Amino acid sequence: MKLFGNQNLNGLVLWIYSVDVGKQNFNLREVVYMFKLIFKNKWNIYFGAITILLAIFTIEDLSISKTIYNKDLLWGNFFYIFGQHPAFILGFIGASILFRVRTSKNIFENIVLGSLSIVFAVFNGFYILFVADSRLFYYEKVEGFIAMRDLVFAIILTIVAQVVLFKIPKEKVLKYKRAALITVLLVFTEIVLVNIFKVYWGRVRFRDMLDDFSKFTPWYLLQGDTGNTSFPSGHTADAWTIIVLTLFVSKEKIKLYRSALIAVIVWGTLVAISRVVIGAHFASDVTVGAAITIGIFFLLKSIINDTNIIKRII
């Protein structure tokens, strides 16, 4: 009887069945061992965690938000302002590195790839400044001027980054080309996907239904383009792009790698919780936001290795 593609998962199901029908005695060690085998695979952990969390939040989404809602929470507003910055900062760094390590002998490819890298770097440099500016100081009337000012600073920042990178031997920068490529593709893809989902899901935010909870809809029901953008959480998706830090740190440097991994988990989790606390999202929104970024990251890591793919692109 084969229920799943994973042999270990099939083994666990068959073992549980045999215990249930009385063919085998319960053995805790065997259960622990079977679960260890299953969770050796990152995709099993990924889909298992998403399934469990969404199953819980399908039932408890609204009650969780009602219980922990606090729009004036200081750290919640801190993450509102800076929670997305890992995506912008890492996107800027990744694009800057890609421009520096271009190796294509084709002049046209060099121009195209160079232009795309610089534009992406400027785009992220702009949002590093503008998002902080607009949310910290609540600019409204002078937003056009602030945007222009931040764009100028972003261009200057991009030039400075290239000056610094060109002073570093190319061989040293080349070590990070895979990490840089995955970073740029991750940031670009998750931003596009999340915003497409937001438009067509049309889910009302918790803070926009405080006077009428009948507006609440489960996460799995599409509402269409209603102008509401609760599902999924863009802040959480952007926050979890910090996961690419693990690519810039060698696994051989165990303490540093573990520190990077802890920083990733702590930042991503705190941003996710903060979005629920201040009423910007439901728990299911942040779960799917994180899942989108982490899933894309795993996929890109599997596809992009130090092979001809990278050599061809950069």
Sequence-ordered list of residues with C-beta below 8 angstroms from that of 19, at least 6 positions apart, any chain: 25, 26
Q: Crossing angle of helices 7-20/28-38, nearest 10°?
A: 160
Q: Which residue has the higher pLDDT, 232 or 309?
A: 232
pLDDT for the residue numbered 19: 44
160-193 CB burial, b ≥16 within 10 A, e <16: ebbeebeeeeeeebbebbbbbbbbbbbbbbbbeb
Q: Is 38 within a domain?
A: no
Q: Phi/psi zone of residue 68: left (φ > 0), alpha (ψ -120 to 50 degrees), beta? A: alpha
| Domain of 109, in residue numbers | 68-313
Q: Is 53 within a domain?
A: no
**Contact by Cβ (8 Å): 271, 236:** yes
pLDDT for the residue numbered 310: 54
Q: pLDDT by residue (tens digit) across 114-165?
A: 899 999 999 999 999 988 888 887 655 556 778 888 999 999 999 999 999 9
Look at residue 303 and tell me whether its pLDDT is greater than 60: yes
In angstroms, rounded to a whole number, what is the distance separating the alpha carbons of residues 274 and 258? 24
The mean pLDDT value for 241-252 works out to 90
pLDDT for the residue numbered 307: 53
Q: Is 152 within a domain?
A: yes
Q: Is 89 within a domain?
A: yes
pLDDT band at 302 (very low <50, low <70, confident <90, very high): confident
Q: Which residue has the higher pLDDT, 310 or 136?
A: 136
Q: Crossing angle of helices 107-137/177-201, nearest 10°?
A: 60
Q: What is the largest CA-CA distance in the chain?
A: 75
Q: Is 52 within a domain?
A: no
Q: Helix, strand, coil % (nearest 5) of the chain?
A: 75, 0, 25
In angstroms, rounded to a whole number, what is the distance separating the alpha carbons of residues 295 and 300? 9
**How does DSSP assign 31-50, residue by residue?**
HHHHHHHHTTSHHHHHHHHH
Q: Is 40 within a domain?
A: no
The mean pLDDT value for 200-220 works out to 93
In angstroms, rounded to a whole number, what is the distance separating the alpha carbons of residues 293 and 299? 10
Q: Is 103 within a domain?
A: yes
Q: The pTM is what?
A: 0.83
Q: pLDDT by residue (tens digit) across 185-196?
A: 999 999 999 999
Q: Is 293 within a domain?
A: yes
Structural domains counted in the chain: 1
